[in-house]
Amino acid sequence: MNETYAAIEKRAARSARIRKFLTYLLLVFWALLVLFPFYWMILTSVKSYGAYNTEYIPKFYTLSPTLQNYIEAFTAVSLGRYFWNTLLFTVVTTALMMAVIIPAAFAFSRLEFKGKNIVFALFLSLMMIPSELVIITNFVTITNWGLRNSYLGLILPSVTSVFYIYLLKENFEQIPDELYKAAKVDGTSDLKYLLRVVLPISRPTIVTVVILKVIECWNSYVWPRLITDDPFYFLVSNGIQEIRENGFGRENIPAMMAAVVVISVPLIVLFLIFRKKIMEGVSRGGTKG
């Protein structure tokens, strides 16, 4: 024993400190990497066009912030239009989807009918089908129905989700049988039971599903791009791509960044309000990644 107990303890304390330092270093490093693009887009969006283009070495701050780019973003391209389209698309798609999947989940969880298990198994097997496989025919179907460049064409293919039906069904099944029996004794109809008892009890899960769907809708790009070529029906994702390729005369990067900020803000605000719910929801039902 050459070392005293105190020396060993001291060394252990030092290595714990170093470990802690390295941990924070890693976390701060990644946090900076995540935040920097956001900082950069906000910063660039308040630089004036002239100032931006004269900075060969971009400055990390600006002394004369301007809102001109935001005005430009809403006047030079139809950002307002894209925004409104996306809002409409998101609200209607989510509402329709809830109207479709809640009764289905209720039927699977509570009602009795022949072949229930087989039908449910078939539903589940559909979860494995990647959207790339079915999107081709959907594109042809919507085209044949003459619904290209229409809200209906945008919305229809995304109003069902087997996964969300499954999630809701699992949740509905946790409601005690006694409630249903009591309701039946009172002569309550199934529909009334669903609306008055099941929905209020399952509110947290329903809110989660709604939030996940809203995020999905807000960011959807592939289907809208296939089905719309008329800028009147563009969603923000397609709008931003259009802006990148044709808008603002290509070089007006500050205005482009203003558009990017405007598009990103709604979801970030939503996230900051419902942080706990969204993270919990994504860990239960997220798919991106």
Partner 1 sequence: MKTQWKAWLYLLPAVAFLGVFMVYPLVDVLVYSFEEGYNFASQSYSGVGLFNYSYVLHDPYFLQAVKNTFLIVIITVPLSTGLALLISLGLSSIRKLRDLFQTVFFLPYVTNTLAVGLVFMILFKKTAYTDGMVNLLIQFFGGTGVDFIEGPYWAKMFVMCFYTIWVVMPFKILILTSALASVNQVYYNAARIDGTPRWRMFTRITLPMISPMIFYLVITGFIGAFKAYSDEVALFGTNLNAAGMNTIVGYVYDMLYGNSGGYPSFASAAALILFAIVFTITCINLLISRNNVQY
240-269 residues in contact with partner 1 (CB under 8 A) are 240-241, 244-245, 251, 253, 256-257, 259-260, 263-264, 267-268
135 closest CA partner among 115, 118, 158, 113? 158
Residues in the chain: 289
Taking the least distance from each CB to partner 1, the nearer of 58 and 204 is 58
Q: Which of 132, 178, 186, 230 binds partner 1 (CB under 8 A)?
A: 132
Q: With respect to partner 1, which residue has the nearer C-beta, 133 or 185?
A: 133
Spatial contact of 254 and 44, defined as CB atoms under 8 Å apart: yes
> Residue 3 corresponds to which tokens in the numbers above?
């070392």
One-character DSSP codes across 215-284: HHHHH--HHHHHH--SGGG--HHHHHHHHHHTGGGTT-HHHHHHHHHHHHHHHHHHHHHSHHHHHHHHHH
Task: Identify residues 43-82 at the interface with partner 1 (CB under 8 A).
Answer: 44, 52-53, 55-58
With CB under 8 A as the contact rule, the residue among 1, 4, 64, 112 that binds partner 1 is 112
Cβ proximity to partner 1, 155 vs 205, nearer residue: 155
Name the minimum Å distance from CB 4 to partner 1.
19
CB of 147 to partner 1, least distance (A): 12
Helix, strand and coil in the chain, % to nearest 5:
75, 0, 25
- Residue among 6, 63, 118, 133 that touches partner 1 (CB under 8 A): 133
Answer for which of 160, 163, 207, 216 binds partner 1 (CB under 8 A) is 160
**Span 176-205, contacts to partner 1 by CB under 8 A:** 190
Contact between residue 262 and residue 46 where contact means Cβ atoms under 8 Å apart = no
Q: CB of 71: closest distance to partner 1 in angstroms?
A: 19
